[in-house]
Copies of this chain bind each other. A is one copy, B any other.
């Protein structure tokens, strides 16, 4: 089998490690370099226990990534948005395809960056060519043809998978949608701060960035694309005392004269041929444990036709924030860009299991 040459930048972050783990078992790629300033010079195996050829690589500094990417077919960036903003144009110029796991190229509107990401976007032209890579909801041909794929955020992935099929099918009113979601701590990245120390996080749950999380415009963009109109949406994230996983609970309003059962039908239709999205019968079956350690999402919907809020729709979804919310979705996109089967290295079930 031909092996495509791949590089990973930001390889010591939690998503970066997952990328390395997946690629270590990927039959169609050869990882040429892994970059991380923190672990420069050490081998992947020594830090992470990952075996195979990837395990024998020593991390190079991020500054060496451009040089190392010479001759690579694609590079995966698990870097902060500011770093991606610099690296992406340079990689594209060298003819290297890029999957960027940061938010730097996810928003179509450059004007949104100063407010939500705190920087001016220096290459707004690239926002037009970047393809937003949520394969189950996107035009896969566009991903396959893309030179730059913006890999979706973790919360936006969970929210869009739950709501877009319902919006596309016209099953929801234009009443605003409330998304309360909660994430494991790895969503905040590798941290050396008191706020994310064990004692400050364990046994606690708290909301954060209320009414101002940078994933809100991304969620709004996905929902608007699904609905074909602007969608009012409130997103409130919470920090959970677990390492991995996202649970998203979205509340919306059933359109008039729609039977509640139509909602589940729409989800099943949307994901009938999508092995990585599992539609469950009831929201109670959707849990973080259902998807952690897997490349899959789980989703289910329920609606009230009477009671204290008739017409209420509740859609619950879960993903592993580091996999379907980051690394495994990036590999879906990479596979599409390389012309490989989309789920290569992502299923069937791994030989050993999630903890």
Residues of A bordering B, CB below 8 Å: 14, 17-18, 21-22, 24-26, 49-52, 55, 175-176, 178, 180, 182, 185-186, 190-194, 196-212, 216-217, 220, 232-236, 238, 240-245, 247, 249, 251, 275, 278, 282-284, 286-296, 302-304, 307-309, 312, 314, 316, 320, 322-323, 328, 345-355
B351–A217 touching, CB < 8 Å: no
Measured between beta carbons, the chain B residues less than 8 angstroms from A206 are 247, 284, 286-289
A190–B199 touching, CB < 8 Å: yes
Contact of A347 among B18, B51, B312 (CB under 8 A): B51
Query: For residue A224, which residue of chain B has the nearest CB?
Result: B308
B295–A202 touching, CB < 8 Å: no
A194–B194 touching, CB < 8 Å: no
Contact of A295 among B199, B304, B352 (CB under 8 A): B352
Query: For residue A18, which residue of chain B has the nearest CB?
Result: B353
Contact of A287 among B193, B204, B242, B275 (CB under 8 A): B204
B320–A236 touching, CB < 8 Å: no
Select the residue from A242, A245, A352 with max chain B CB neighbours within 10 A. Answer: A352
Q: How many copies does the complex hold?
A: 4
Query: For residue A310, which residue of chain B has the nearest CB?
Result: B232
Select the residue from A198, A207, A216, A282 with max chain B CB neighbours within 10 A. Answer: A198
A185–B210 touching, CB < 8 Å: no
Contact of A204 among B52, B289, B296 (CB under 8 A): B289
B293–A353 touching, CB < 8 Å: yes
Query: For residue A180, which residue of chain B has the nearest CB?
Result: B180
B49–A278 touching, CB < 8 Å: yes
Query: For residue A192, which residue of chain B has the nearest CB?
Result: B194
Docked complex Cα distance between A329 and B346 (Å): 24
Measured between beta carbons, the chain B residues less than 8 angstroms from A289 are 203-204, 206
Measured CB to CB, the closest approach of chain B to A128, in angstroms, equals: 22
Measured between beta carbons, the chain B residues less than 8 angstroms from A192 are 192-194, 197
Measured between beta carbons, the chain B residues less than 8 angstroms from A275 are 51
The 9 closest A-B pairs by CB, nearest first: A350-B350, A206-B287, A180-B180, A204-B289, A52-B348, A198-B201, A292-B355, A192-B194, A354-B355
A238–B242 touching, CB < 8 Å: no
Docked complex Cα distance between A51 and B295 (Å): 12
Measured between beta carbons, the chain B residues less than 8 angstroms from A304 are 211, 234
Docked complex Cα distance between A104 and B249 (Å): 30
Contact of A14 among B175, B199, B247 (CB under 8 A): B199
Query: For residue A206, which residue of chain B has the nearest CB?
Result: B287
A314–B25 touching, CB < 8 Å: no
A312–B207 touching, CB < 8 Å: no
Query: For residue A230, which residue of chain B has the nearest CB?
Result: B308
Measured between beta carbons, the chain B residues less than 8 angstroms from A190 are 194, 197, 199
B194–A191 touching, CB < 8 Å: yes
Measured CB to CB, the closest approach of chain B to A87, in angstroms, equals: 24
B316–A348 touching, CB < 8 Å: no
